[in-house]
A and B are shown apart, each in its own frame.
Chain A
């Protein structure tokens, strides 16, 4: 079965420091991986995705993610955190077992950036 795991419920980081939000995946076949962010009382916003090619994917708002096949990970990173980055982050994988019709979301990681 396709799945993603976000091992941390919460990540705390000081403004200006680098941040990492972790995600590991378990898929059969090629993984199609996504990161979404959700601000309070809002819908999800797409940040970036990995389909194939370069293992370092750059996305919106200065975020990037590194695909690591040997470690089955797709961690989200940002070199310098902003207070406004505080939000709920979801890693997701497209479920090829349903012809790609479904997206499976991780449990989410809450990021707190302290000024």
Chain B
């Protein structure tokens, strides 16, 4: 199984809502990533987890809260978002961080619209 799955595919939320994005992989990868992507732009790194511990936080606002409950799951909790947070949110995984330059496996993304 070389697939990264993300749910939901689409999400519309108001600025006062709380919602969560979910990502799952069963490839035994120990590095997982959240990216934000605006239309026709490259992905922007948000968070990196290595062995279920947060390794990188790219100065992301606290209204985004990541969680890695186990080696297969990655969540992104959303609260009090702004309209400019509307974007495609991509999850990715790779075997490990550092060492061998592994490629990343991306999920299909969650299209988020904040109203």
- Residue B106 at the A interface, CB < 8 A? yes
Chain A's closest residue to B106 (CB) is: A43
A42 and B108 contact, CB distance less than 8 A: yes
- In angstroms, Cα B35 to Cα A90, docked, is 14
- Residue A83 at the B interface, CB < 8 A? no
B105 and A46 contact, CB distance less than 8 A: yes
- Residue B45 at the A interface, CB < 8 A? yes
- Residue A94 at the B interface, CB < 8 A? yes
Interface size class, chain B: 20 to 34
Chain A's closest residue to B43 (CB) is: A105
B106 and A102 contact, CB distance less than 8 A: no
- Residue A71 at the B interface, CB < 8 A? no
- In angstroms, Cα B31 to Cα A99, docked, is 13
Q: Which residues of B contact A (CB under 8 A)?
A: 4, 6, 40-43, 45, 48, 50, 55-56, 88, 90, 92, 97-99, 101, 103-109, 111
Offer 25 A-B interface pairs, CB within 8 angstroms, sorted by A: A36-B106, A41-B88, A41-B109, A43-B4, A43-B6, A43-B90, A43-B107, A43-B108, A43-B109, A45-B106, A46-B104, A46-B105, A51-B101, A88-B40, A94-B101, A99-B97, A101-B55, A101-B56, A101-B98, A105-B42, A105-B43, A107-B42, A108-B40, A108-B42, A110-B40
